[in-house]
Amino acid sequence: MIEYSDLAINADGTKRGLKKKHVQMIAIGGTIGTGLFLGAGNSIAKTGPSILIVYAILGLFFFLMMRGIGEMLYADPSQHTFVAFISKYVSPGAGYFAGWSYWIGLTFVAMAELTAVSTYVKFWFPTWQTWLIQIFFLAILTLVNLVAVKVFGETEYWFAMIKIIAIIAMIVTGLFLIFTGFKAPASGGNTVASFGNITHHFSLFPNGPAMFFAAFPMVFFAFQGMEFVGITTAETENPRGVLPRAINTIILRILIFYLGAMTIIMSIIDWHVIAKTPEQSPFVMVFQLAGFKAAAAVINFVVLTSAASALNSAIYSAGRHFYQLAQESHIPVMSRFEKISKHGVPANAILLTATLVLLSPVINAIPQITSSFSFITAVSSNMYIIVYAMTMYAHRKFRASSDYLPNGFTMPAYSLTSPLTLLFFAAIYVSLFFQSDSRMPAIGAIIFTLIFGTLAHRKFAGKS
């Protein structure tokens, strides 16, 4: 068995420059996004305190998915992307389809996050040109990804640290308000801060069953990106020692950061009050109730770093996925993207992705195609569900292969949790058809899968 902890440089030239602290913070960064800081109000508005149940269920199944991915990466830490296991255990055509789908999705995620970055910057500098802000941030983060993987790791470490500090500060502030019997003013619903506000007149479906189930895809997309930690394995020191701990602590982070934050928020502010202005950040509301007048500016800084972190991660991940696609394509024009720079990163693949992301300022400048961009972004997001399901199916095939390590980092209660996780992804996709704003993108993702999936299958038909 190869001792990956002894390899500073992989056979392909990439370097294992990510340390334990980087991977653990990257795992946190992939779990916590702007969906918590800005989208919590919208989630609470849909179904009140029962949103805690939605987060708990989603957190459990994402954890199980990560255990499945972690099991395969533990057996083969040399893989740059978890999508590579679809090629290996399902078929080259399926892997080719999943790789391209995931890369396209990442590129659109990067575009969306770049747009968000410029929006948050303009909170302070409304007269600055949007396209200049976007080009500046894209150039800086592309450079971070080109220098060395260790620089990327350090950047993500501090991005994640800012998010953690903000959440802990909110939780500590909230606990102080609860234990001192704080009473909110009329703007906060005249609520006396207490954990009892969660269970007082509790209803599982306060706005009806439809709204409860509509919250599931919303929270699902908030968790999207948790799998990112698995993409760092091939560039991590001692991956078999670091990966299990990083994945196992994900569920703890979900309990603390998501459930903990939501519980504090609804203990201080009546959820009906939050539902009246779902677009306002509940984090800002809590800090303002505590007398912190600069709360809006501070949370804007946090979501700015959160969006920059997501953009940074998307560039990193997209670069590794395109590098993998170049290796699997066997097309002369793709050979230039198989090269690793002297810094140990797939520089050409990273630069191509960053160049495509530059289309974001162009798209934002053309009002006529803004709605089309939103539609394509939604389609690409829905593709993630399909790729996740394919990855879990690949995990089942891995279990039946000679690569399976019975004494490795195994998925708990596999015979039960594996089929349940696959059913869960199917249920999430079906739920997209019950909301008018997600129905057409869901249909679009299916059409894309049928057409591109067929082409990918034909490309590799008859090849080993």
Sign of CA dihedral 122, 125, 130, 132: negative
pLDDT tens per residue across span 217-233: 888 888 888 888 777 77
List the Cα angle 36/41/43 in 5-degree steps: 75
- Answer whether residue 374 shows pLDDT above 50: yes
Measure the CA–CA gap between 192 and 185, rounded to whole angstroms.
9
Q: Are 83 and 387 in contact (CB under 8 A)?
A: yes
What pLDDT shows up at residue 48? 92
Q: How high does pLDDT run on average in the chain?
A: 86
- Answer whether residue 182 shows pLDDT above 80: yes
| Domain-embedded: residue 392 | yes
| Domain-embedded: residue 364 | yes
CA max distance for the chain? 71
Which CA distances in Å does 236 have to 4, 246, 281? Answer: 9, 12, 36
Measure the CA–CA gap between 344 and 340, rounded to whole angstroms.
6
Q: Which range among 151-160, 322-331, 393-402, 425-434 has the greatest average pLDDT?
A: 393-402
1, containing H or E segment: none
Question: What are the percentages of helix, strand and coil residues in the chain, rounded to 5?
Answer: 75, 0, 25
pLDDT tens per residue across span 308-366: 988 888 898 888 888 888 887 778 888 888 888 888 888 999 999 999 998 877 776 77
How many of the other CB atoms lie within 10 Å of CB of 363?
14
Q: Which of 36-50, 164-178, 234-248, 298-312 has the lowest mean pLDDT?
A: 234-248
Q: Are 104 and 417 in contact (CB under 8 A)?
A: no
Q: How confident is the model at residue 12 (pLDDT cuts 50, 70, 90)?
A: low
Backbone angles phi, psi at 450, to 5 degrees: -65, -45
Domain assignment of residue 267, given as a range: 9-455
Measure the CA–CA gap between 101 and 441, rounded to whole angstroms.
14
Q: Which of 1-15, 238-252, 448-462 has the lowest mean pLDDT?
A: 1-15
What pLDDT shows up at residue 40? 85
- Answer whether residue 371 shows pLDDT above 70: no
Measure the CA–CA gap between 164 and 146, rounded to whole angstroms.
26
What pLDDT shows up at residue 418? 96
Tokens standing for residue 447 = 């059409």
- Secondary structure (H, E, C), 420-440: HHHHHHHHHHHHHHHCHHHHH
| Domain-embedded: residue 1 | no
Tokens standing for residue 308 = 């920059």
Q: Are 411 and 64 in contact (CB under 8 A)?
A: yes
Backbone angles phi, psi at 122, to 5 degrees: -70, -10
Q: How confident is the model at residue 198 (pLDDT cuts 50, 70, 90)?
A: very high
| Domain-embedded: residue 462 | no
What pLDDT shows up at residue 1? 40
| Domain-embedded: residue 323 | yes
Residue-wise burial string across 174-210, b where 16 or more C-beta atoms lie within 10 A, e elsewhere = bbebbeeebebeeebbebbbbeebbeeeeeeebbeee
Q: Are 254 and 27 in contact (CB under 8 A)?
A: no
CATH code (residue 280): 1.20.1740.10
Of 306, 413, 380, nearest in space to 60 by CA: 413
What pLDDT shows up at residue 245? 86
| Domain-embedded: residue 63 | yes
pLDDT tens per residue across span 99-148: 999 998 888 888 888 888 988 999 999 999 988 999 999 999 999 999 88
Q: Which residues pair with 284 in a beta bridge?
A: none
- Secondary structure (H, E, C), 182-211: CECCHHHCCCECCCHHHHCCCCCCCCCHHH
Mean pLDDT confidence for 165-169: 91
What percent of the chain has a predicted confidence (pLDDT) above 70?
94
- What is residue 411's DSSP assignment? P
Backbone angles phi, psi at 18, to 5 degrees: -85, 125
What percent of the chain has a predicted confidence (pLDDT) above 90?
40
Mean pLDDT confidence for 23-31: 73
- Answer whether residue 458 shows pLDDT above 70: yes
What pLDDT shows up at residue 125? 92
| Domain-embedded: residue 460 | no
Q: How confident is the model at residue 10 (pLDDT cuts 50, 70, 90)?
A: low
What pLDDT shows up at residue 13? 64
Q: Which of 8-12, 182-186, 197-201, 260-264 has the lowest mean pLDDT?
A: 8-12
What pLDDT shows up at residue 149? 84
Per the structure, the count of domains in the chain is 1
**What pTM did the predictor assign?**
0.88
| Domain-embedded: residue 463 | no
- What is residue 125's DSSP assignment? -
Tokens standing for residue 414 = 């596999």
- Answer whether residue 2 shows pLDDT above 60: no
What pLDDT shows up at residue 443? 92
pLDDT tens per residue across span 442-452: 999 999 999 99
Mean pLDDT confidence for 76-83: 84
Measure the CA–CA gap between 461 and 91, rounded to whole angstroms.
9
Q: Which of 150-164, 321-335, 405-419 has the lowest mean pLDDT?
A: 321-335
